[in-house]
A and B are shown apart, each in its own frame.
Chain A
């Protein structure tokens, strides 16, 4: 497999590639982050006319929506799409494909080594361009920018798994090699054929990112330790989720929660008078809306093993519950039961769909 040397900024090179792919008719649409000219902010755009690519900023540490979630609804259209995804977005999409909510067939996936994304508060409050130089400097040293999402700082999967094209952004640009676009699959070779660029035979070397990995693992330890600070048991549960207002925002931005009718929004959770009477007779008072903590525990058991730690849920929480950190911590344990890594391999079944006869013999 070959590589493409990037002589300009990584983001610009990817934009040029998208331009080439659209103009040559190799793809029908490009999914990429884009600058909103009117208000200096960023969003995710689906672009079919190459003229509209001028605003595209394929590689930017901003996630307004998990692109894997968006991709699931368009990937089966039959149109050829090139999608620029952050590693966790790609992993989320893999999880969705396993659940038959999308397809790789007409998709070219472009991903990059990721330094983490800014929290949405920051994206709204500050000018991102002004933050970028410092951000790039920090990640090039293998350090972790403090203004990124807590789960980004603690994320060890910042090297894309299964991407057709990997763009090295974090780490390598400074190590002398310069930013490089690695073509990982035959599909990538085929799509980039005819793209004017300097080709090479470079191999992706994760060792350049060892320092970043070590820093992140240490950050993860710290994050997880901070969550047990308030002691075990019910009190901790109330401490963590007690502020929940029951908006279900975390559920709606979650790329894994794909169910069209979530159990928690179904008629099972229409509360009627007998429900209130029964609970009040026992407890003498009832918190409203009911079942907010139940909702989080339910989601944890339903999908935590597939959590990719993208951090969307924490970022949209109106009352600041560290949803993503709880899911990441719990999810790592539930996934480890089955030696599962979400998004690792599209051929790997989700743990609740398969079983082994000889396992978990200490139960039952």
Chain B
């Protein structure tokens, strides 16, 4: 029997909003796929562009950054900076013809457990359509 493809989505989640939102999804017993591999960061702006690239080149099928909604950052402006950096990485991917759909930024607050579950489900489905990241097996990276 062919093993079904389970994507691996490396997810950098801000401690104050999205990570707490994910916790809320858990305590509310909302279902979301096992594909999400959470990594807690203090702020979405802690995510250096090279984190995304490393995750991508190491074979993550998707990379997600979760942060507070604009204006709600625990450190006031962190997510605005994160957004600019994310835009830069996305643009670099597009210029080089890499699959920029494998990168996602999402604003999910601590009270948005259902939104977290929804984003996790939808993004996993999107990644399933894209299939396995070819970087996973490439030895020349």
- From A232, A263, A304, B92 is in contact (CB under 8 Å) with A304
Q: Does B42 contact A (CB under 8 A)?
A: no
Cβ-defined contact, B87 with A360, below 8 A: yes
- From A282, A304, A338, B136 is in contact (CB under 8 Å) with A282
- B80: chain A residues at CB < 8 Å are 355-357
**A284-B95 CB under 8 A given contacts A298-B53, A363-B83:** no
Cβ-defined contact, A330 with B89, below 8 A: no
Q: Does A138 contact B (CB under 8 A)?
A: no
Cβ-defined contact, A286 with B98, below 8 A: no
Cβ-defined contact, A287 with B98, below 8 A: no
A-B pairs with beta carbons under 8 A, tally? 115
Q: Does B111 contact A (CB under 8 A)?
A: no
Closest 7 pairs (CB-CB, A-B): A232-B97, A301-B49, A355-B80, A330-B95, A285-B139, A364-B105, A298-B50
Please report which residues of chain A, range 323-357, place their CB below 8 angstroms from some CB of chain B when the two chains form the complex.
Answer: 326, 329-330, 333-334, 337-338, 351-352, 355-357
Which bracket fits the contact residues of B? 35 or more
- A223: chain B residues at CB < 8 Å are none
Question: A134-151 toward B: CB 8 Å interface, digit per residue (1/0)?
Answer: 000000000000000000
Contacts from A to B (Cβ < 8 Å): 228, 231-234, 236-238, 240, 242, 263, 282-287, 293-294, 297-298, 300-302, 304-305, 326, 329-330, 333-334, 337-338, 351-352, 355-357, 359-360, 363-364
Q: Does B140 contact A (CB under 8 A)?
A: yes
- A238: chain B residues at CB < 8 Å are 138, 140-141
CA distance A240 to B141 in the complex (A): 12
23 A-B contact pairs sorted by A residue (CB < 8 Å): A232-B97, A233-B98, A234-B135, A236-B97, A237-B97, A240-B96, A285-B139, A293-B140, A297-B53, A297-B96, A301-B49, A329-B95, A330-B91, A330-B96, A333-B95, A334-B91, A334-B95, A337-B88, A352-B81, A363-B83, A363-B86, A363-B105, A364-B105
- From A228, A237, A352, A356, B98 is in contact (CB under 8 Å) with A237
Cβ-defined contact, A301 with B97, below 8 A: no
- A284: chain B residues at CB < 8 Å are 139
